[in-house]
């Protein structure tokens, strides 16, 4: 099977930076399949990139190489990493963006050597892409550097249980539809336990918990278990973030009454 | 030849949803070529997606698998379809987005079974991508479900002939350049029949009919036969929708005088 | 090795035009690998496209076919070109967008014949993609047309040396981060020559020259040698174009004092 290299960046595509990276990849690893995941991460938004990585990195087949270049610290003393975790390899700056793979038991990280000729503004092209190509051509990550001592870890803040049994969390992301993803771990049957009635307080409103968007009327607000297992606030056929005035950090409280 | 799977969604790419779908596709159909067509359909804009599908579905080679996930009704009772039409397969929700293929004689559609474990908010990942992978691996669509009885059909509204021989239609789409695409079927030689002079009334203006944008002066308005055979209003080196105040549904009248 | 065809356009993806081009490419050159570089060039912005082409065209392996369709003159008398330069082939309109390859010694260009059936609004689909496919299938460019006599050349304006040894140039592009790329050729060690202190005047401000973004405080302005060897103005963790009020054409003066 030809090696698979995925790309996640905040470069956009119009400036040609991604094009340069692809040129390097196809030149150094001619057999690789290069797969765009996104280049539309908001500029320098490491947190969004981390949440995206958490969603996708393990869904790809073993041996996939994930390049993740959201790198506001490029050219600084920040480290650069290659991580082997659950049979995938992830490559990117040591700013927490690779945390989802680093937090898995058995993960190993090496610290990458920056080539003397690398542009201090574009490690995506001059460091990370060449490393991805070397791995695609068969290099083990141990050949690429010494073990990284204490890679940067970023974590989603944890929700907490209130005295009354409610769970208080916060919005961690707004998606393209305006859905507000929270840090409250939900479960598909949140709304259906017998005799319980769950609801959510958010943005000064009380929102029912249901299974699917379609369980409420059009333009009705609803809380549900999102596709990655987190409680999510949506407005059917609408935009919850706008309607309810939500953004990252907005408080969300889940009540489960008997 | 390795199977070809195309993707059209309204997911954007920054949230990682498309990345999850690609992970599923590459895991379940490792030999497939996965081709991005667009992830920038406006959120939940089934109509735009349908018009795009009409443009491209038959231009790909036979056996291409087209995944189309613009799905405001996800998690509701709406059906999910696999359609075989003219030797291509299209997969998506039963909301009319697949109409261009369904309307062709000989098209067959099956109703897809939703896996019990599918997230009610993300059939792209949990239903449609796995089905696309199965087809790529050789499954016939009949193995995927029972015949769909009456799939949803969406049609472009038809233009009508007025008493004076003119044709009245409407704008059905505004493209990235601000060109206004209408539902009036044109023909490359619209402007050139001997002795005729054609013009268009639109936005309170009279616009000449020509062959190409370059047939008028810069910033001049022009009507012409667009690349899919429909009458289109453009402003050379400008934006017709903004200049003429056009949007979906704006009335357009084509006059052909002798 | 399967042929590599890259795509750069200003089409966006939502309207389905890129999808149509890909359908043509996969139909006519079934073995080709089709690589998106960008479809987000600003509409009809030939200059941005030219700068992007300059960045990437030679980074891809020999025999790569670069399709570049930013074509405000489509349907006019403007010529259409296939260019062979340094073992790559570039295909696009004769409006200067291919200049980076044309300016290399040994470049050869042929003038492409427009098929009688081509839509006068969509040469990307009806002329350029079929030509790219033919080349991918082995056709030499000489089989595609006669030598082009005097292809259009666009050049970056040159910076000039002032009486006091300073260099005066201008901003030629603003990238996604708000970095202002200039036409002043820099060199990685601009800031470090012994005994010198360099600084830049731009937007009424004096900006220090350094090696990397991280050499100044957050939100500090800095001038440095960008990744393509041109002087670039940035604001660390910020947006220089907004902060300093810069756009294409803004004057930039580099002073190197002893």
Asked whether the predicted pLDDT for residue C54 surpasses 70, the reply is: yes
CA-to-CA dists, residue A110 to B156, B184, B249, angstroms: 57, 62, 58
Is residue C163 very low, low, confident or very high in pLDDT (cuts 50, 70, 90)? Answer: confident
C56 touches chain A (CB under 8 A): yes
Give the nearest partner residue to A40 out of B12, B43, B121, using CB atoms. Answer: B12
Read off the pLDDT of each residue in C243-253 and give the average, rounded to a whole number: 97
Mutation target among B13, B60, B224, B235 for the C interface, most CBs of C within 10 A:
B60
Is pLDDT above 50 for B192?
A: no
Q: Residue A190 pLDDT more than 70?
A: no
Topology match between the domains B4-143 and B160-255: no
- For the domain bounded by A4-143, which CATH number is listed? 3.40.50.10790
- pLDDT at residue C256, rounded to an integer: 84
Q: What is the pLDDT of residues C62-71, one digit of tens each?
A: 999 999 999 9
**Summary mean pLDDT of chain A:** 95
Q: Touching check for A72 and chain C: CB below 8 Å?
A: yes
Residue B187 has pLDDT above 80, yes or no: no
Q: Is it the case that residue A92 has pLDDT exceeding 90?
A: yes
- Does pLDDT of A104 surpass 50? yes
User: Percent of chain B at pLDDT above 70?
Assistant: 96
Instruction: Say yes or no: B67 contacts chain C, CB-CB below 8 A.
Output: no
Check whether B23 has a pLDDT greater than 90. Answer: yes
Instruction: Identify the pLDDT of residue C100.
Output: 98
Q: What percent of chain C has pLDDT over 70?
A: 96
Q: Strands A230-235 and A205-208, how do they pair?
A: unpaired
Average confidence (pLDDT) over A61-65: 98
A180: exposed, middle or buried (Cβ count in 10 Å: 0-12, 13-18, 19+): buried
**A94 and A79 Cβ atoms separated by less than 8 Å:** yes
Contact B175 C30 (CB under 8 A): no
CB contact under 8 A, B40 and C16: no
Percent of all residues in chain A with a pLDDT value above 70, rounded to a whole number: 96
Tokens representing C153 are 């050349």
Per-residue pLDDT at B256: 84
B257, two tokens? 């005088």
- Residue B114 Cα, gap to closest chain C Cα (Å): 28
Could you give the count of Cα atoms lying within 13 Å of B225 in the half-sphere of its Cβ? Answer: 15
Q: Is the per-residue pLDDT at C146 higher than 70?
A: yes
| Residues of chain A found within 8 Å of residue B121, distances taken between Cβ atoms | 212-213, 224, 226-227, 232
Average pLDDT, chain B: 95
Q: Is the pLDDT of residue C196 over 70?
A: no
- So what's the pLDDT on residue C95? 98
Q: Is the pLDDT of residue C5 over 80?
A: yes
Is the pLDDT at A188 greater than 80, yes or no? no
Instruction: Say what the pTM is.
Output: 0.96
- Residue A187, pLDDT above cutoff 80: no
pLDDT band at C91 (very low <50, low <70, confident <90, very high): very high
pLDDT band at C192 (very low <50, low <70, confident <90, very high): very low
Mean pLDDT over C22-36 rounds to 98
Closest residue on chain B to A227 (Cα): B119
Question: If pLDDT is split at 50, 70 and 90, which confidence band does C165 have?
Answer: confident
Asked if pLDDT for residue A192 goes beyond 70, the answer is no
Structure tokens at A97: 């963006």
Which of A1, A31, A53, A176 is best to mutate for the B interface (most B CBs within 10 A)?
A176
E strands in chain C: 4-9, 33-38, 65-69, 80-85, 88-93, 108-112, 145-147, 160-161, 167-174, 180-185, 197-202, 205-208, 221-225, 230-235, 251-257
User: Which residues, 6+ apart, have CB-to-CB distance to B141 below 8 Å?
Assistant: B82, B83, B84, B89, B108, B110, B135
Give the model's pLDDT for residue A72: 95
For domain A160-255, the question of CATH label 2.40.30.90 is answered with yes
C15 has a chain B CB within 8 A of its CB: yes
Chains in contact with A, counting 3 or more C-beta pairs less than 8 Å apart as contact? B, C
A64 touches chain B (CB under 8 A): yes
Q: What are the backbone dihedrals phi and psi of residue A193, each rounded to the nearest 5 degrees, phi first? A: -65, 140
* CB-based contact A125:A91 (threshold 8 Å): no
Chain segment A16-55, per-residue pLDDT in tens = 999 999 999 999 999 999 999 999 999 999 999 999 999 9
Query: What is the predicted pLDDT for the residue at B171?
Result: 98
**Coil, strand or helix at B12:** coil
Q: Does A40 touch chain B (CB under 8 A)?
A: yes
Residue B39 φ/ψ, nearest 5 degrees: -120, 10
Do the chains contact at B20 and A55, CB–CB below 8 Å? yes
SS3 A50: helix
Mean pLDDT of B127-150: 97
Q: Is C173 on the interface with A (CB under 8 A)?
A: yes
Confidence of residue B164 (pLDDT cuts 50, 70, 90): confident
In this predicted structure, the answer to whether residue C139 has a pLDDT above a threshold of 60 is yes
Interface check A125 vs C, CB under 8 A: yes
Range C148-169 average pLDDT: 95
The answer to whether C127 and B227 are in contact (CB under 8 A) is no
| Residue that wins the pLDDT comparison between B35 and A195 | B35
pLDDT digits (tens, 9 = 90+) for A115-127: 999 999 999 999 9
Q: What is the pLDDT of residue C135?
A: 98
The pLDDT of residue A164: 87
Least confident of A191-200, B75-84, B237-246: A191-200
Domain positions in chain B: 4-143, 160-255
Burial of A98 (0-12, 13-18, 19+ CB in 10 A): buried
Q: Are the C-beta atoms of A252 and A238 separated by less than 8 Å?
A: no
Three-state secondary structure string covering C84-153: EECCEEEEEECCCCCHHHHCCCCCEEEEECCCCCCCCCCHHHHHHHHHHHHHHCCCCHHHHEEECCCCCC
Q: Which residues contact A231 (CB under 8 A, 6 or more apart)?
A: A169, A182, A184, A185, A186, A190, A200, A223, A224, A225, A252, A254
Report residue A131's pLDDT band, with 50, 70 and 90 as the boundaries. very high
d(CA B169, CA B161) in angstroms, rounded, equals: 9
A218 in contact with B at a CB cutoff of 8 Å?
no
Q: DSSP code of A26?
A: H
DSSP symbol at B157? P
Burial of residue C152 (CB within 10 Å: 0-12, 13-18, 19+) is middle
- The mean per-residue pLDDT over the stretch A88-103 comes to 98
Q: Which helix (H) or strand (E) holds A55?
A: helix A46-56
């Amino acid at each position: 099977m030809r090696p698979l290299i995925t790309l996640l960046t905040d470069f956009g595509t119009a400036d040609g930076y991604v094009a340069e990276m692809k040129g390097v990849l196809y030149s150094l690893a001619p057999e690789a399949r290069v797969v765009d995941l996104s280049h539309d991460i908001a500029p320098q938004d490491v947190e969004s990139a981390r949440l995206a990585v958490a969603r996708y990195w393990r869904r790809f087949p073993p041996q996939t190489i994930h390049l993740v270049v959201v790198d506001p610290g490029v050219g600084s003393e920040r480290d650069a990493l290659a991580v082997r975790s659950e049979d995938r390899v992830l490559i990117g700056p040591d700013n927490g963006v690779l945390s989802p793979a680093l937090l898995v038991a058995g993960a190993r990280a090496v610290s990458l050597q920056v080539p003397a000729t690398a542009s201090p503004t574009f490690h995506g092209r001059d460091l990370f892409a060449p490393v991805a190509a070397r791995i695609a051509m068969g290099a083990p990550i141990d050949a690429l550097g010494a073990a990284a001592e204490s890679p940067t870890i970023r974590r989603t803040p944890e929700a907490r249980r209130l005295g009354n049994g409610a769970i208080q969390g916060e919005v961690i992301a707004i998606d393209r539809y305006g859905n507000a993803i929270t840090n409250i771990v939900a479960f598909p049957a949140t709304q259906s336990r017998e005799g319980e009635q769950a609801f959510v307080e958010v943005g000064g409103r009380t929102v029912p918990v249901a299974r699917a968007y379609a369980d409420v009327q059009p333009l009705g607000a609803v809380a549900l278990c999102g596709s990655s297992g987190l409680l999510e606030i949506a407005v059917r056929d609408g935009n919850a973030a706008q309607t309810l005035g939500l953004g990252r950090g907005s408080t969300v409280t889940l009540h489960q009454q008997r």
